[in-house]
């Protein structure tokens, strides 16, 4: 696969003397969709991320579909270093809880040696982020109005199918602009603590993830290994 080209383009709607050019990668739709990876080790902690870049990514995410067109999403953008450190502390405690669960160990037990090796790398990468999350310059917390606690599946689906496409759109837009992201959730073991830290009304608004965002060291990413389609596609019946 060729290395993505950098394309410069003017940001629409910025009329001040500070109007600047955003860099976007020259990726086809298929390349964008298949090379937006979960990035952890290759995040550049030392390079600031411009506010305008984040805002444009969120503006693109804002165009995602939502159940009944409610558009009841919110994005908390955390750049304050003390708040990032506090979130990272909650994230670390959540990771410790998750890693003690049987599901964490089961995700690495496969008869296929190659798959087991891949999962071991994923775990090591995840633990790297646990130790360095506070250094990531931007934390994005996508939220949705209304909680799913105790709701039937159909109601839960309406909430998740509203916020997840928007979050993924943000991640795609970020990738196109040279940023790396990953969809994480360890801090949600302590969602109420995070809500208090950030002033989120916990009873009315549900946090759904924590997406770290930073420029990447290098912009070339490859497709990830996947199972053959025959294992996951079911025509007309299971």
Res 44: pLDDT: 98
Q: Would the CA dihedral through 102, 107, 109, 111 be positive or negative?
A: positive
Residue 4 pLDDT level (bands cut at 50, 70, 90): low
Residue 123 has what DSSP assignment? H
pLDDT per position as a tens digit, 17-42: 333 446 799 999 999 999 999 999 99
Which CA distances in Å does 11 have to 7, 16, 21, 55, 180? 12, 11, 6, 11, 20
Res 1: pLDDT: 44
Res 5: pLDDT: 54
Distance CA 139, CA 186 (A): 13
pLDDT per position as a tens digit, 152-166: 999 999 999 999 999
Domain ranges of the chain: 38-218
Q: Please provide the DSSP assignment of 182-224 as one string.
A: --B-GGGGGHHHHHHHHT--TTTEEE--BEEEEEBSSS---PP
Res 103: pLDDT: 82
pLDDT per position as a tens digit, 217-238: 999 999 998 989 999 999 999 9
Res 125: pLDDT: 96
CATH code for the structural domain at 38-218: 3.40.109.10
pLDDT per position as a tens digit, 104-143: 776 666 777 787 888 889 999 999 999 999 999 999 999 9
Model pTM score: 0.89
Res 19: pLDDT: 39
Percent of the chain with pLDDT over 90: 81
Distance CA 197, CA 76 (A): 12
């Amino acid at each position: 696969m060729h290395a993505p080209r950098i394309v410069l383009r003017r940001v629409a709607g910025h009329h001040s003397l500070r109007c600047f050019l955003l860099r976007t990668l020259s990726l086809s739709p298929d390349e964008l969709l298949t090379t937006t990876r979960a990035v952890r080790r290759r995040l550049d902690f030392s390079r600031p991320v411009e506010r305008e870049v984040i805002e444009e990514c969120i503006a693109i995410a804002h165009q995602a579909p939502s159940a009944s067109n409610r558009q009841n999403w919110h994005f908390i953008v955390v750049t304050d270093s003390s708040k990032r450190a506090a979130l990272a502390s909650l994230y670390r405690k959540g990771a410790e809880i998750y890693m003690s669960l049987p599901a964490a160990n089961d995700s690495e037990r496969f008869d296929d040696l190659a798959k087991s090796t891949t999962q071991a790398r994923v775990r090591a990468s995840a633990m790297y982020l646990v130790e360095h999350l506070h250094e990531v310059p931007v934390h994005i917390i996508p939220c949705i109005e209304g909680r799913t606690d105790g709701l039937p599946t159909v109601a839960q689906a309406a909430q998740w199918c509203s916020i997840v496409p928007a979050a993924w759109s943000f991640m795609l837009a970020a990738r196109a602009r040279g940023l790396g992201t990953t969809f994480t959730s360890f801090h949600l073991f302590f969602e109420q603590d995070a809500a208090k830290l950030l002033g989120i009304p916990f009873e009315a608004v549900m946090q759904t993830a924590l997406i770290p965002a930073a420029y990447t060291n290098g912009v070339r990413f490859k497709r990830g290994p996947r199972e053959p389609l025959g294992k996951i596609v079911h025509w007309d019946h299971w």
